Amino acid sequence: MAKKYCIIFALIVLCLSFSCVAMVPPVYGTVQEGFSSEHEAIDIFAPLDTPVYAAADGVVEEIRIGSYRYDGDAYGAGNYVVLRHQNLNPELWTKYLHLNQVLVTSDESVSAGQQVGTIGNTGNTIGPTGYHLHFEIREGSRQGTSIDPLRYINFYILDSTHPTVQAFQVTPQSLARGELFIIEYSVSDTGGSGLNRVELWRKDERDDWQEIERDTLAGENGPLSGSFTDSPSVSGKYWYGVHVVDNAGNWNDEKNSNTNKQPSSFEPVEVEVNEVVSTTIWRLLNPADFL
Ligand SMILES: [Zn+2]
């Protein structure tokens, strides 16, 4: 069997024997309480009546409206929906608690992304501002082993922290037209969304600053080092700088002006491109050959 097919076959076996579960985020909001042994779910905060969606294809196993007790214990689930996902491997149950409205009925089949209710604060929540979805995943049975939902759902990480430029330099800073020089950078991000790209910006004596090239980065936090090269075809003075952008859209430049010059600050670098002076050595023909 060809190597490629071996790998595909191995992946299929892995999927069948372990789990290949991908779920839809049940609500567009922020996870403010994560999964722990005391809280076997995640709490996703969003405004009142924000739509709540089925995380995967399934069947409505149970709904409860107007009840503030869950399965007989003192847990204040409020209005809730329980879905059973028989098509998933492993078979899972998902629970959507504290809903304001329930928009499905028992035994109804639902598909991933279908609205099942709206965000509320029914049951045990923290007052009128506590609108959130308590989202739970169970394996084996409706009250089986609890699973951290972040294992199956990729949530967009809220990030308002600017990335930073750790190092920036251009070498050489004076050269002949046609020669190549190198613009080196090192960048990092601590906000959680990861690095998206570094843009190279250039200005000269005629044109204002403009982006002339970009390096796409694959979401790492860094520090990541990279470089650009340039070789202007016209002699004169040029200035170079970089912009670093994270996946949440926060940006910074080499001056780190969005982080009060932290961790360090660099000015745009000036490069002088000199008109080419010929260094060709002309060897004269022997006059004797013309005589
Ligand atoms: Zn909760």
Architecture of domain 26-151: Distorted Sandwich (2.70)
164-274 sits in which CATH class? Answer: mainly beta
Domain boundaries, the chain: 26-151, 164-274
Same fold for the domain at 26-151 and the one at 164-274? no
How far is 10 from 6, CA to CA, in rounded Å?
6
What confidence tens digit (pLDDT) does each residue in 227-236 have?
A: 999 999 999 9
Q: How high is the pLDDT of residue 289?
A: 79
Distance 94 CA to ligand 1 centre (A): 13
**pTM for the predicted model, two decimal places:** 0.51
Distance 65 CA to ligand 1 centre (A): 18
Give 74's pLDDT tier (boundaries 50, 70, 90).
very low
Distance 131 CA to ligand 1 centre (A): 11
Q: How high is the pLDDT of residue 17?
A: 43
Average pLDDT on 126-154 reads 86
Distance 236 CA to ligand 1 centre (A): 63
Please tell me which residue, 34 or 86, carries the higher pLDDT value: 86
Distance 76 CA to ligand 1 centre (A): 10
Residue 12: DSSP 8-state? H
Neighbouring CB atoms inside 10 A of 220's CB total 12
| 108, 51 Cβ separation under 8 angstroms | no
